Amino acid sequence: MPDFSSPEALPPKVALAVTKPEPFDFTGEMISRKKKKKQEEELLIQQEQENAQRHFKAQPLYAQSPEQLAPVERREVTRPEPFELATDLRGDHYKRSFARKIMAEEEEAAEQFSSFRARTADVV
């Protein structure tokens, strides 16, 4: 059995070096950073455009008083004309033809009743 009381019997102590990780990048991270930077630049440009659109500056009047303004030309008021719809024309035509038809039937009925003569009843 080995004698462990002496230090030579023990295995030598090895100094363990601490591993220090080195920084690294994936290729996709570089691409995503570029895209993110481009997107932020576009967003800044868009915000600047929106701010410029919000800023309204009115055009100054050419004259300060109403006497100096150009006269306004008055136009004649538009007068509406009645509609001439095809449905109205068809309806009027139908009404006239229907009225003629009714008058003809009434005249025929009146003629029939005026020519009626009662006959004597021949009973057998």
> What does the pLDDT profile of the chain (124 residues) look like in tens digits?
566 677 676 777 888 888 898 888 888 888 999 999 999 999 999 999 999 988 888 887 666 666 667 778 899 999 999 889 999 999 999 999 999 999 999 999 988 888 777 788 888 6
Domain that includes residue 108, residue range: 87-115
Evaluate whether residue 60 is within a structural domain: no
Q: What angle do CA 18, 23, 24 make, to 5 degrees?
A: 130
Domain count for the chain: 1
What pLDDT was estimated at residue 66? 64
pTM, 2 dp: 0.32
97 occurs within a structural domain: yes
Residue 58 lies in a domain: no
Domain assignment of residue 23, yes or no: no
DSSP state of 62: S
* Contact predicate 3/9, CB 8 Å: yes
88 vs 81, 91, 95, CA distance in Å?
15, 5, 10
The answer to whether residue 61 sits within a structural domain is: no
Alpha carbons 96 and 9: distance in angstroms, whole number = 136
| Residue at 96: amino acid letter | R
| Nearest-angstrom CA–CA distance, 38 and 23 | 25
Q: What is the pLDDT of residue 91?
A: 96
Cα–Cα distance between 114 and 117 in angstroms, integer?
Answer: 8
In a domain, 109, yes or no: yes
Q: What local confidence, expressed as pLDDT, does residue 64 receive?
A: 66
